[in-house]
Structure formats: C-alpha cells, structure tokens
C-alpha cells in the first residue's frame, strides 16, 4: 500500500477534487480511506442522554484509495510514488523529483542455510 495513516494526500476525483487533507483511517479490505475534511455528510441524531439536543452531526465518509495521491513536500502537489531500497530499508519516493517520502518497511534479509 502506498498510503499510510497520517499521510497528507490530495483528492483527484469527485466532489472534493483538489482538496488536501490528512489520512485518518484506512480500510485495506474495502480499498477505502477516510480523509480529514473530505466527503462530509450529515448524520441525523435523535435526542438521547449522550446528545440531549439531537440534530445533525457532520462526519467524514470514506473515499476510494484510487481517488487520492500522496503529497510530495518538495513538489507541493499529489504525485505517483515508487519504492527504492537503500541499505536494506525500503523508502517511498516521488516519481517526479525522486525525493524520499518516508520509510515503507525494513526488507527481509536472506538467511544462509546451514
């Protein structure tokens, strides 16, 4: 997966096109993620002890992962990403300027057979 929780992404499709926000939650099984301030809907809430006045609550709903691009701090726009391995550690890199966008994972070292 090229996007992690806490990344800054840019929406490239839908009603909130060109909006930038922080990733709050990722559902890998459904291929959707929740972005702060994107795809807001109103949830109508009945009166209760928890919400004594009732009314409408605004909340973010998930969007498809394919509709967002990871933001490159150097290019300052959404970019496609690639992976490079350096010293046994995999890094995400910007396809345009080749800047590092963070560590993905430590690569598995091959164990010599005895």
Average pLDDT on 98-104 reads 83
Predicted confidence at residue 98, as pLDDT, reads 87
Number of folded domains in the chain? Answer: 1
Domain region containing 15: 8-106
The pTM for the full model equals: 0.78
In a domain, 113, yes or no: no
Task: Give the domain CATH number at 91.
Answer: 2.30.30.30
In a domain, 100, yes or no: yes
Predicted confidence at residue 59, as pLDDT, reads 92
In a domain, 81, yes or no: yes
CA distances from 60 to 47, 51, 75 (A): 21, 19, 27
83 vs 107, more confident? 83
In a domain, 111, yes or no: no
- Give the C-alpha separation, 114 to 108, whole Å: 18
**Would the pLDDT of 77 be above 60?**
yes
In a domain, 112, yes or no: no
């Amino acid at each position: 997966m090229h996007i992690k929780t806490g990344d800054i992404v840019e929406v490239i499709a839908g009603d909130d096109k060109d909006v930038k926000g922080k990733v709050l939650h990722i559902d890998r099984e459904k291929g959707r993620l929740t972005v702060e301030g994107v795809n807001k809907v109103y949830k109508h809430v009945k009166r209760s002890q928890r919400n004594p006045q009732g009314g409408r609550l605004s909340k973010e709903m998930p969007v498809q992962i394919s509709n967002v691009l990871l933001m490159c701090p150097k290019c300052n726009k959404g970019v496609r990403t690639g992976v490079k391995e350096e010293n046994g550690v995999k890094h995400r890199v910007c396809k345009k300027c080749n800047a590092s966008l963070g560590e993905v994972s430590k690569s598995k070292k091959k164990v010599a057979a005895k």
